[in-house]
Chains A and B, each alone.
Chain A
């Protein structure tokens, strides 16, 4: 058996103890019950509180926190994401000269949370709140690559074809998602519409969960080289933006 991690075992013991129906417990009680030094117990409780698994009552005693009941729900409120990302998504649009979107997973599709017009674009309407097929756009491929559950759901149903370049083959899509995990970014070339392309990168919550993807979209020859590889300076802008929003979420 692989060596186990002691602090994870201790954290599990703290949660079992607090869930044991003995009411709210103080730090000393937790330490005494588990045979831990008070400092160790305090560190465990503070960390569990930070991730939302434990909370404190008005008297400072500990109990199980609300996040434990929401373990299956890793979604971050799209409106909170948009607000945190606004400065960075605007800057990405200004610097790349391309349309910017930030998307989250919603029932196996990409829900658009942020949309910035391309500079100089006479566009009229924002497509925030609309859905895009996850397997056929760069944002979706990023989100699927880092969400095994959603990827399984999408791979279990027929993959709709939008152009002759849409990946409708399950093995092909699984390989593409492997590629995204390897490189840390996704590209889409004429898979949703002919003549267009997209580049996207993951936005992560503290701890590493991918909660959103941010990317640019535009004409194929604007975004990509003739080899269909993304232009390096645009890829760097997208990756920098994703990292900046990740930092913003960690600071919030």
Chain B
């Protein structure tokens, strides 16, 4: 009888269940979207109960599609949207309010207060992260501060905190009736509440953020049996959980120090495996746990996010109206040989890693009457590539690990001109795997390892197949020249928003 591993990918807009077979091939997919709630400007919320209901729907649907019986599922692995925060009542299982989503910026004032005179790097040594509205811990502080009576209930252990994987594991294992309250170490590394070296909740951080220990889940590895499901797939071990970007790193089989992946979506996330030692960044990159398999030492990663990539193409389509669908940008760009001297730096909301200049704004430079929309299309694709190069250079400088190839996934990998440009500017091969669903695959792999469905990492590496590859073709002199041009374009974005002006978010 064929056996499978089920991956539940609890994402920002939808929840999916994918079944994988022993060769790591996708067997079936079921998906359900959930509502996005925007109660105020800058606020983004999800209904955690709706998400749980979607899990109870998509898992049986994926099995039905494959014609599989529940007993054929060897294990369940979870990958989840990171930093989204939910608090619920231990006795009833009801959330005390909507989950606060990672995109939500309500904590921007709070993190500035927390930073105080020491600045955003106040806790970086301890937790690997700068103070930013992005992370879960301050979000929990905000909820405790703004929900009447919540902190007292938390201290009495009546309410529980979790990120989405915690919420799902608790519900899968019985909820109010004996639910297992755990978080995986990759998700915990995004809270600012865990010591990045100790991998335990850190009292200094808990005190600083006013979080009662009694409401926190137990921190466990990314790959071990947390418990057996009592519902949805009763008796099936729940054997893995990882944050979605870490799951993609694992699904791309980046198991060795120096191996890296970049997921190209609306924004893009580059993660570099730095091995079992933490690397503190001096370029504003994040130090995070990549994965931890059972009792083995944790593997760490450096993470750099590129805010404007797919959204730059969307702007080109919707804001400028120069194309009618995103893939057409390649067609338009190929009507010309090069960028015609034109560079676009999409600092739409300031510059992020490695520059961190919030007052910068986007520029198009090098305009002459020669420049056509084809050159602009080239400049858009090159902007995605050069932004990646800047993050790769920062990682190299922080870690001393020189990238030998970049594994890519996400929708933009269909753009061959972009992939070739990426190989050209990075001067390393760019490789696309055959299974595009690397997030779900990573969760499945971690779960399958924990229950012996796959024997070891080498077995997983053998499952990894290239679907495409792009080799650097650019002349080194031209690369240096173009990088210099890009850097000079970046310099022209700086100091645009005047301090104290309405646009000045600080």
Contacts and interface: CB of A to CB of B under 8 A. Distances in A.
Interface of A: 77-80, 82-84, 86-87, 90-91, 93-95, 115-117, 119-121, 123-126, 128-129, 252
- Which 7 interchain pairs have the tightest Cβ spacing? A83-B327, A83-B414, A119-B465, A79-B330, A79-B327, A116-B467, A80-B327
Contact of B411 (A83, A90, A128): A83
Contacts of B469: 117, 123-126
A95 B468 contact: no
Nearest to B437: A87
Contact of B328 (A80, A119, A126): A80
A95 B21 CA distance: 11
Given A77-B328, A90-B436, A82 B414 contact: yes
29 contacts: A77-B327, A77-B331, A78-B331, A79-B330, A79-B414, A79-B416, A80-B325, A80-B327, A80-B328, A83-B326, A83-B327, A83-B414, A86-B413, A86-B414, A87-B436, A90-B434, A90-B467, A91-B26, A93-B467, A94-B23, A94-B26, A94-B435, A116-B467, A117-B469, A121-B466, A124-B469, A125-B471, A126-B416, A129-B416
B25 interface: yes
A116 B328 contact: no
Interface in B404-450: 411, 413-416, 434-436
B142 interface: no
A129 to B, nearest CB: 8
Contacts of A120: 465
Contact of A128 (B25, B326, B416): B416
Contact of B435 (A84, A90, A117): A90
A148 to B, nearest CB: 26
Contacts of B416: 79, 82, 126, 128-129
Contacts of B325: 80, 252
A187 to B, nearest CB: 24
A87 B415 CA distance: 14
Interface string B12-27: 0000000000010110
A120 B23 CA distance: 12
Contacts of B328: 77, 79-80
Contacts of A91: 25-26
Nearest to A115: B468
Contacts of A124: 469, 471
A91 B414 CA distance: 14
B264 interface: no
B230 to A, nearest CB: 33
B43 interface: no
A172 B471 CA distance: 42
Nearest to A100: B467
B409 to A, nearest CB: 11
A79 B331 contact: yes
B185 to A, nearest CB: 31
B389 to A, nearest CB: 22
Interface residues of B, number: 24
A120 B467 CA distance: 9
A208 B25 CA distance: 32
A86 B409 CA distance: 12
A134 to B, nearest CB: 22
Given A79-B330, A79-B331, A126 B434 contact: no
Given A79-B415, A83-B414, A126 B327 contact: no
B322 to A, nearest CB: 14
Given A82-B416, A126-B468, 11 more contacts: A79-B327, A79-B416, A84-B327, A87-B436, A116-B434, A117-B465, A117-B466, A117-B468, A120-B465, A121-B466, A129-B416
Contact of A93 (B23, B327, B331, B434): B434
Contacts of B26: 91, 94
B470 interface: yes
A87 B18 CA distance: 14
Contacts of B25: 91, 94-95
A173 to B, nearest CB: 31
Nearest to A113: B416
Contacts of A128: 416
B368 to A, nearest CB: 27
In the complex, which of the residues B26, B328, B416 has the most CB atoms of chain A within 10 Å of its own CB atom?
B416
Contacts of B327: 77, 79-80, 82-84
Interface string B442-477: 000000000000000000000001111111000000
A115 B327 CA distance: 16
B467 A117 contact: yes
A93 B468 CA distance: 11
B412 to A, nearest CB: 9
A80 B434 CA distance: 19
A102 to B, nearest CB: 11
Given A79-B327, A82-B327, A94 B465 contact: yes
Contacts of B23: 94
Interface in B328-368: 328, 330-331
A115 B325 CA distance: 21
Contacts of A87: 436
A94 B434 contact: yes
A48 B173 CA distance: 55
Contacts of B414: 79, 82-83, 86
Interface in B376-420: 411, 413-416
A124 B413 CA distance: 17
B468 to A, nearest CB: 5
A91 to B, nearest CB: 6
A124 B405 CA distance: 14
A128 B413 CA distance: 14
Contacts of A119: 434, 465
In the complex, which of the residues A79, A93, A95, A123 has the most CB atoms of chain B within 10 Å of its own CB atom?
A79
A56 B44 CA distance: 36
A115 B414 CA distance: 11
A121 B465 CA distance: 8
A92 to B, nearest CB: 10
Nearest to A78: B331
A245 to B, nearest CB: 13
Contacts of A84: 327
In the complex, which of the residues B26, B413, B415, B467 has the most CB atoms of chain A within 10 Å of its own CB atom?
B467
B471 A86 contact: no
Nearest to B411: A83
A50 B25 CA distance: 38
Contacts of B415: 79, 83
Given A91-B26, A94-B435, A126 B465 contact: no
Contacts of A123: 466, 469
Contacts of B467: 90, 93, 116-117
A116 B436 CA distance: 12
